């Protein structure tokens, strides 16, 4: 147990260093944007005195390194600042939007994870069969297709042609659970099609790699059914890589949701990020990117810990 705690502490320290590096990249990327932020917000007709006063208010008159340290210190204390677009607290804006993004990611994960495991087990069970080849073609096609392409295909088919689902996922705080599930069905399907292939193929590969093991051969010699051999003997020992890829795909569901949210006009953090970029609302852009980075780093840490818990041999690499 102490080894796991030590490993978690090491991963947290590495994650903190990674987060500081990412925050620096975010700040520099915004800093290198062309044009003057104060002039862009106030317009070309603004007087020089007004622009200078606004720059002082935004702390743009300070050197970049001082502004970075000031911004990073405020973020570590939970102070995200105020939006330049509507003067609201950024934490208030992001709180609701991030909750919507997490809901959509959880919705897609509840569909994608069991489906991927089921399809992966069947593909390993009927290896090299017509089913195995067909499911590989379908999943490879879904991996190769961009999210926006899959989204538009679903909109054209399920929303416009069949009329089963709305093409725009306009939800708000008062939307009930069933209504929210109905309105977000298409973006959830889009994200499921994008991520299920990775998890299914990893499940299939991990189980097939174990089928030549001596204990699997012994189970076959005992006359156990092939399904029982895979589910009760091969699958428990294949959990480490499967859990790793599942958690990493969950990170993608949260962080890589920007395109899907824009296509379906879903009020999540990704849509807020795009809107803030178009309005040059720099504090919101920086806070949103940093939250995405924190989420991805934490889920990577979770993937490492769960993989080791399911396979303690990873604590002692050769």
In 145-231, alpha helices (H) = 147-154, 177-183, 185-210, 214-221, 226-228
Which helix (H) or strand (E) segment holds residue 240: the answer is: helix 239-255
Read off the pLDDT of residues 249-283 as tens digits, 9 standing for 90 and up: 888 888 777 888 888 888 888 888 888 887 777 88
**DSSP bridge partners of 89:** 82
Determine the distance from the C-alpha atom of residue 69 to the mean position of all C-alpha atoms in its chain, rounded to a whole number: 28
* CA atoms within 13 A of residue 218's CA, in its CB half-sphere: 4
Q: CA-to-CA distance for 137 and 146, rounded, in angstroms?
A: 16
Predicted confidence at residue 46, as pLDDT, reads 66
Q: Given its phi and psi angles, is residue 62 left (phi above 0), alpha (psi -120 to 50 degrees) or beta?
A: beta
Contacts of 116 (CB under 8 A, 6+ apart): 195, 196, 197, 198, 199, 200, 203, 246
Closest CA to 83 of 290, 275, 298, 302: 275
Determine which helix (DSSP H) or strand (DSSP E) holds 276, and give its type and residue range: helix 269-279
Cβ atoms of 294 and 75 within 8 Å: the answer is no
The pLDDT of residue 45: 66
3-state secondary structure of 309: helix
Question: pLDDT per residue over 75-89, tens digit each?
Answer: 888 778 778 777 788
Span 102-137, pLDDT tens digits: 888 889 888 888 888 888 888 887 878 888 888 888
pLDDT over 80 at 43, yes or no: no
Q: How many CB atoms lie within 10 A of CB 152?
A: 14
Q: What are phi and psi of 122, to 5 degrees?
A: -65, -40
| Domain spans in the chain, listed from the N-terminal domain onward | 99-282
Return the CATH number of 99-282, one of 1.10.3720.10, 2.40.160.40, 2.70.70.10, 1.20.1090.10.
Answer: 1.10.3720.10
Tens-place pLDDT, residues 151-175: 888 888 888 888 888 888 888 877 7
**Percent over 70 (pLDDT), the chain:** 87
Question: Given pLDDT bands bounded at 50, 70 and 90, which one contains residue 40?
Answer: low
CA distance 256 to 83: 23
Closest of 164, 199, 176 to residue 103, by C-alpha: 176
In Å, how far are 70, 94, 138 from 286, measured between CA atoms?
13, 12, 38
Alpha carbons 227 and 234: distance in angstroms, whole number: 10
């Amino acid at each position: 147990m102490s080894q796991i705690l030590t490993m978690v502490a090491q991963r947290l320290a590495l994650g903190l260093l990674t987060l500081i590096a990412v925050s620096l990249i975010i700040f520099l990327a915004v800093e290198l944007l062309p044009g003057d932020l104060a002039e862009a917000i106030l317009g070309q007709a603004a007087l020089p005195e007004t622009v200078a006063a606004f720059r002082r208010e935004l702390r743009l008159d300070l050197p970049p390194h001082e502004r970075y340290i000031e911004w990073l210190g405020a973020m570590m204390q939970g102070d995200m600042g105020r939006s330049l677009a509507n003067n609201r607290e950024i934490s208030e804006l992001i709180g609701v939007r991030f909750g919507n993004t997490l809901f959509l990611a959880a919705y897609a994960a509840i569909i994608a994870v069991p489906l991927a495991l089921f399809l992966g087990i069947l593909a390993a069970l009927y290896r090299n069969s017509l089913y195995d080849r067909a499911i590989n073609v379908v999943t490879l096609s879904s991996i190769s297709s961009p999210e926006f392409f899959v989204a538009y295909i679903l909109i054209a088919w399920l929303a416009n042609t069949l009329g089963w689902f709305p093409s725009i996922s306009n939800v708000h705080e008062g939307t009930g659970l069933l209504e929210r599930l109905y309105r977000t069905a298409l973006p959830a399907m889009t994200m499921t099609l994008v991520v299920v292939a990775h998890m299914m193929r990893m499940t299939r590969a991990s189980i097939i790699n174990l089928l030549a093991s001596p204990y699997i051969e012994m189970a076959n010699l005992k006359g156990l059914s092939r399904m029982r051999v895979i589910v009760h003997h091969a699958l428990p020992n294949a959990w480490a890589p499967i859990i790793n890829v599942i958690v990493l795909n969950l990170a993608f569901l949260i962080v890589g949701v920007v395109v899907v949210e824009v296509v379906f006009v879903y009020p999540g953090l990704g849509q807020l990020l795009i809107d803030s970029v178009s309005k040059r609302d720099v504090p919101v852009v920086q806070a949103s990117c940093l939250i995405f980075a924190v989420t991805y780093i934490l889920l990577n840490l979770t993937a490492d810990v769960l993989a080791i818990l399911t396979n303690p041999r990873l604590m002692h690499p050769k």
